[in-house]
Structure 1
């Protein structure tokens, strides 16, 4: 049976337009321009500049593993206090009070205000400087979570800004603010100010990532686009390894943040020479500037472009065809937020769409929580957090690259089920490893990081194919926010559970991944399947039975009053009704629907 089905909503004629086909035509026309430009210095410059930026980002997201760790400490009573020694059986590493002999011979408990910190693993940390222990220990995971909270709120804001005012302007402003914040945090003497800076760093995080990624995707021709999309994130792994190496050499947290933030400054002059996305300029009607960008690209790549008149005509056609898709982006920011809230209901209104939405939400919540739980949990899974973070970055290299042939050969659903099961298996088995065999526990955690990183990438690919065209943008946007919510939870989850039982983080993250494997089974496979244009088409696809042995035509009975086209190889549906359809194929007759 033909896999590409044409869906007609007979009860709501004209409600869903063929916008996806217009967008495809627009993409094809612009891809023709990119094919003429080819792939050369102009494209590689954008890719190299953004790859350099991606290498610096882990040092701003993950330094909490070395800046706010749970440092072993003991209470330091006042010198003149008559302290009653604690028994060895009841002595614990974290002391929040001490016992003294009162004047009348009674034993009194006093709260501890000074501590001695162990420097055998960590040097001068923010934990020690601001005494983030006992009643203030919740501020340690808050240091990491403040960044993710800012990123949670920044994603929709920066996405709207990039669509409204351009990729380069958003990237320029975002990178300048991000660089200033990154280089100022080590000079701040107050913890509250440090947490505020962390929040705003997260707020501008997506302003430095999303526009740059869009610029790379919109400047590479179609045949190299997927490769460029993978290459741009590979330096992330290198950045993690560099962070672990530098942190082992610079144990002082202020020198560490200062050293890791300085390379951000090198990006700013390089970003000045980046060109605005020509596609965005064309869609926005700024054809003269788009023409200058294309001409500059042609000079860099040493190719020739069609005549200016032909290019302007092509730009006009692209703008007209894409105008229908840009309507929703007009208006102010509050109008944009109102539209998001109003249109969100379509994601949970119907049965199949609701199942896909809720399943995808949980999967990204689990991936975000597990990924950063394993990334920031070096002290739970190894004796050396520095070696752990270096190896963790190394594990992401195969996790990011091997997924390409895997999904091409095996699809999306079954590889993810296997990867989530493997993640759960290694994390749950780590709970049975004795602490003295620390290398085995670290190895299991790193294998879990590898499989979860691969699953994370496949989930993003799968969700882009699961959401129909008319809701794909809002579906991906809200799903991405669930991932950031999981990232926000993970520091508190890992830190609080570790204080109760050392193996608790592994059990929780393992059970979360195990549940994710079962949730993935509820999603349909999308390999080789046609992408749905509308929610109505997605709901109607639940009635289809695929017959692979015959090319046939389904026709509605005449009593439904629809025009018949006996030669059209497509299936027609009455939306919301279980209508039996007749199939004609050679001499055989089948029912398309139950």
Structure 2
């Protein structure tokens, strides 16, 4: 997952999100079959590592693609709704694993849903923003016209629409799109994340939030071993609480805003895990507090994805998401050691660590801008306007087509 997070930004910039997603899904399916046929533990572990790489690549790329295809008015809803299929899969997994104990059959069954990705070739559109930046204007116009057709919207004439998409590319790249090599383009994307003081501060705050969210999410998911509950039931209820979490998340980020909602998620998680220290040996109370913490941190996990998307330009958006995920992987790698190693010597230590990190993250979120009504930025100027109080109307050439 760490490897995938490093390469996904550059790969999607080179190949496009649509093509990259389709290829990764096919290889995810093949590596799952390879895992089921593995003759040794080493081959099995290698196959699972490949699956993790391809799963992470598709996860990051799909979220970025969905957000770039969404209008401003629907971005809150769609950004929250993507967490529901994840929750349903988490609820289904323990039942499958409980009744199918033969690991080879289990691997094949868990990989089989990726067969449906064959349909992506016909139904999944490419990001118009990526096509525009790559100078493929006619293809971008075709995608926009398809979107407008299904949404029963009227677009300007083809000539005017073509002028609009060309102006976006000029605004973003200064008229030099297509002149950079792959290495130079990648370095420029990386440079863009740290080009101004505002960007540096926002990037590092998001890095810390990603680390904390992954650290606490996977930590609370693994904590069932220490509270004495069944791993199967804990996994099922952990997925169950994420469904109302996604629904409430949409209501809060739509009406309250991203920043206050994320602060509330971190505070709620911290309070839940710290309160679990004072309930004694009551299994019911520990389960309730643990699941309420899972409820809060799963919302935070969805929301930090949305934050990264909304404060970075198309040119650096997927790279920013990949680098943020890299930092998050260090958090998820750390959580088992805190639970299993430190938790054995001091059972209260994991809850204290998770709670303290969550509270610090809540404070750091105050630095981030509110992005609820912001248009997805296309240039550094658009990025700087987010949270500055400057009006964005008319500043972004995509505004006329953002309602598709």
Fold equivalence (TM over 0.5):
yes
Superposed CA deviations along residues 320-348 of structure 1, whole A, max 9, x for unmatched, are 4324425477544333343345445435x
How far did 1:281 drift? 4.2
Distance 2:144 2:384 in 1: 38
Contact 1:417 1:518 survives alignment (8 Å): yes
Corresponding residue of 2:204: 358
Within 5 Å, which residues of 2 pair with 1:363-442?
A: 363-435=209-281, 437-442=282-287
Residues 1:261 and 2:106 aligned together = no
Judge conservation of contact 2:279–2:285 (CA < 8 Å) in 1: yes
Shift of residue 305, structure 1, vs aligned partner: 7.2
On the 8 A contact 2:241/2:291 being kept in 1, the answer is yes
1:520 aligns with 2:370: no
- For the 8 Å contact 2:214–2:332, the answer to whether it is kept is yes
Q: TM-score under structure 1 normalisation?
A: 0.56
Equivalent pair of 1:283/1:322 in contact (CA under 8 Å): yes
- SS class of match (1:383): coil
The CA deviation at 1:384 is: 0.5
Q: Structure 2 CA distance, aligned partners of 1:295 and 1:525?
A: 31
Contact in 2 for aligned 1:469/1:534 (Cα 8 Å): no
How much does 1:353 deviate? 4.9
Partner of 2:326: 481
Gaps of 5+ in 2: 391-404
Q: Does 1:180 align with 2:30?
A: yes
1:244 positional shift: 1.5
1:205 aligns with 2:55: yes
Taking CA–CA contacts closer than 8 Å with sequence separation of 6 or more, which of the two structures ends up with the larger relative contact order? 2
Q: 1:463 to 1:270 in 2, by over 3 A?
A: closer
Task: Find the aligned partners of 2:313 and 2:187 in 1 and give their Cα distance.
Answer: 21
How far does residue 297 in structure 1 lie from its aligned partner after superposition? 6.5
Which residue number in structure 2 is paired with residue 318 of structure 1? 165
Q: Match for 2:90 among 231, 236, 240?
A: 240
Partner of 1:171, secondary structure, is helix
Is the alpha carbon distance of 1:207 and 1:298 closer, same or farther for their aligned partners in structure 2, counting shifts above 3 Å?
A: same
Counterpart among 90, 97, 119 of residue 270 in structure 1: 119
Q: What is the correspondence of 1:76-475 to structure 2 with a 5 Å cutoff? A: 148-153=1-6, 157-220=7-70, 223-265=73-115, 267-277=116-126, 279=128, 280-281=130-131, 283-286=133-136, 289=139, 301=150, 310-326=157-173, 327=176, 331-346=180-195, 350=197, 353-435=199-281, 437-462=282-307
Per residue, is there more helix in 1 or in 2? Answer: 2
Task: Find the aligned partners of 1:414 and 1:296 in 2 and give their Cα distance.
Answer: 36
Offset at residue 171 of structure 1 (A): 1.5
Question: RMSD across aligned C-alpha pairs, in angstroms?
Answer: 3.9
8 Å Cα contact 1:470-1:534 kept in structure 2: no
Q: Do the aligned residues in 2 keep the contact of 1:167 with 1:277 (CA within 8 Å)? A: yes
Q: Secondary structure at the match of 1:263?
A: helix
Structure 1, unmatched stretches of 5+, are 1-147, 547-594
Shift of 1:274: 1.9
Distance in 1, matches of 2:79 and 2:366, equals: 27
| CA–CA separation in structure 1 for the residues paired with 2:146 and 2:387 | 48
Query: Cα gap change, 1:253/1:503 in structure 2, threshold over 3 Å: closer, same or farther?
Result: farther
- 1:31-90 alpha-carbon deviations (Å, 9 max, x no partner): xxxxxxxxxxxxxxxxxxxxxxxxxxxxxxxxxxxxxxxxxxxxxxxxxxxxxxxxxxxx
Contact residue 259 and residue 370 of structure 2 kept, 8 A: yes
Question: Relative to structure 1, is the Cα distance of residues 197 and 470 closer, same or farther in structure 2, using a 3 angstrom cutoff?
Answer: closer
Partner secondary structure for residue 338 of structure 1: helix
Q: Deviations over 1:527-582 (max 9, x none)?
A: 678999559968996xx9x9xxxxxxxxxxxxxxxxxxxxxxxxxxxxxxxxxxxx
Distance in 1 (CA, whole Å) between partners of 2:136 and 2:314 is 26
Contact 1:152 1:485 in 2 (8 A): no
When Rg is computed on C-alpha atoms for both structures, the one with the higher figure is 1
**Larger proportion of strand:** 1
